[in-house]
Homo-oligomer: A and B are copies of this chain.
Amino acid sequence: MPAPIDFYFDFSSPYGYLASEQIDALAARHGRDVVWRPILLGVVFQQTGGQPLLNIPLKGGYARHDLARSARLLGLPFQLPSTFPFLSVAACRAYYWLHDQDPAGAVALAKALFREAFGTGGDIDSGEAVLRIAESAGVGVGGAGGAGEMAAALNDPAVKQRLRDEVSQAISKGVFGSPLFVVDGEPFWGHDRLDQVDLWLQRGGW
């Protein structure tokens, strides 16, 4: 069984959203699974001196245009949330908490969160918003405790630590942006590198 593809992203990354709509199908064409790994770019940027793309003079205006254009090309709805960039801590915690019980459900939640944020321009930065989207998507709220379990997990010290560990591990592996894919040890950064990811999987490298 070939190794899965690591898909690193921040829920606040609009190019991550575009990638989230494509990566599973792309991987499946090559018989690969995908491990979805949400991270906090803000923590990464403290080390790299990076800043949110859309805040950069000139480049930010271009990125808004490029995002809308790329979404149209893919046939995806696209709208920026009113609060942007936003903190994705709650979304990440919900994802990792759910992942440990129901990996497929966690990915479904991640897709629902991305669609809410960038497909319809909704805010997903609060715990309340994350719970509401989980309920809408019918994931992570089906246990005996219902939505209350997920609500508790968002403030669980173990879950908080789990997210810190995931972010630290990502940084130690050289992850510096979103989306970033690792295929058999080979890193590819950016939604616009998905074509190279596809070729790499097809040819086994070059």
Q: Which residues of B have CB within 8 Å of A44?
A: 58
Q: How far is the CA of A73 from the CA of B196 in the complex (A)?
A: 9
Interface contact A187-B62, CB-CB below 8 Å: yes
A3 at the interface (CB under 8 A from B): no
Report the bound CA distance from A190 to B15 in whole Å.
15
Known contacts A187-B65, A192-B190: A177-B48 contact under CB 8 Å? no
Contacts of A25 in B (CB 8 A): none
Q: Scan A163-206; emit 1 where CB is below 8 A from any B CB, else 0.
A: 00000000100111100000000011110110110010000001
CA of A49 to CA of B73, assembled, Å: 30
Count of residues in A whose CB is under 8 Å from the partner chain:
32
Contact of A47 among B57, B177, B196 (CB under 8 A): B57
Interface residues of A in 21-64 (CB under 8 A from B): 44, 47-50, 56-59, 61-62
Check A132 for interface membership: any CB of B closer than 8 A: no
A59-B175 Cα distance, complex, nearest whole Å: 9
CB distance from A60 to the nearest CB of B (A): 9
B residues less than 8 Å from A65 (CB atoms): 187
**A79 an interface residue at 8 Å Cβ cutoff?**
no
Whole-angstrom distance between the Cβ of A187 and the nearest chain B Cβ:
6
Contact B62 A189 (CB under 8 A): yes
Taking a contact as CB atoms closer than 8 A, the residue among B56, B57, B177 that contacts A59 in the complex is B177
Could you tell me if A56 and B50 are in contact, using CB atoms closer than 8 angstroms? yes
Provided the pairs A65-B187, A72-B206, A206-B73 are in contact, do residues A59 and B176 lie with their beta carbons within 8 angstroms? yes
Instruction: Report the minimum CB–CB distance from A39 to chain B (whole Å).
Output: 13
Q: Apart from A50-B56, A59-B176, what are 16 other A-B pairs with CB-CB below 8 Å?
A: A44-B58, A47-B57, A47-B58, A48-B56, A48-B57, A48-B58, A48-B59, A50-B59, A57-B176, A58-B174, A59-B177, A61-B174, A62-B189, A65-B187, A69-B206, A72-B206
